[in-house]
Amino acid sequence: MAGKIEHHALPRASFQNEPKVLIVVAPYYQPISENLLKGAKTEILASHGTFDVVEVPGALEIATAIGIAERLEKFDAYVALGCVIRGETTHYETVCNDSSRGLTLLGLQGLCIGNGILTVENVEQAEERADPEKQNKGGGAAAAALHLLSLSHKWADNKKGIGFKAD
């Protein structure tokens, strides 16, 4: 079980300016999403960031909401939160694969996204992973987004003054 193995966590990212983060949550399983959200908010605040929260109907809509926000608003990073529990049909695979693929494609375009969409076999697994006092996957997703943002700032700063500059 993953909960029994000790994990290494990177030091918390730090910033010169407050990062503005959008948390997109699918509250289909509300008690689980509330715990994911609690963990994410705590991590963002600990990094001296600010956040907005929006809700979407389900995990499949999370990437679309992030894409819209990137075009129409100004956020530094994004946190995707939701839960997909295996059912009796193949819909589980579609939702898991397509929600993950959507976030990956946005990330490859340069968006800093932490994926906190749980994909689990049962409610007990979801509760364990969402609980901020246990696996805290919401906090982990926020930390991932902030680490990617920190890396993007680091690499952007390294490019100043390098290369050909036309007059």
In a domain? residue 32: yes
* Catalytic residue flag (residue 7): no
In a domain? residue 6: no
Cross-sheet strand order for the sheet of 50-55: 50-55, 20-25, 77-85, 113-120
Cα three-residue angle 93-95-99, rounded to 5 degrees: 120
User: Of 7, 8, 48, 91, which residue is the catalytic one?
Assistant: 91
Is 143's pLDDT higher than 60?
A: yes
CATH code of the domain covering residue 73 = 3.40.50.960
In this prediction, residue 144 carries a pLDDT of 98
Rounded distance between C-alpha atoms, residue 64 and residue 77, angstroms: 15
Rounded distance between C-alpha atoms, residue 143 and residue 46, angstroms: 10
| Contact partners, residue 43, CB within 8 Å, separation at least 6 | 12, 138, 139, 140, 142, 143, 146
- Residue-wise pLDDT for 90-125, tens only, equals 899 999 999 999 999 999 999 999 999 999 999 999
- Residue-wise pLDDT for 43-93, tens only, equals 999 999 999 999 999 999 999 999 999 999 999 999 999 999 999 888 999
In a domain? residue 89: yes
In a domain? residue 52: yes
The CA-based diameter of the chain, rounded to the nearest angstrom, is: 64
Total domain count, the chain: 1
Give the domain extent around 102. 20-157
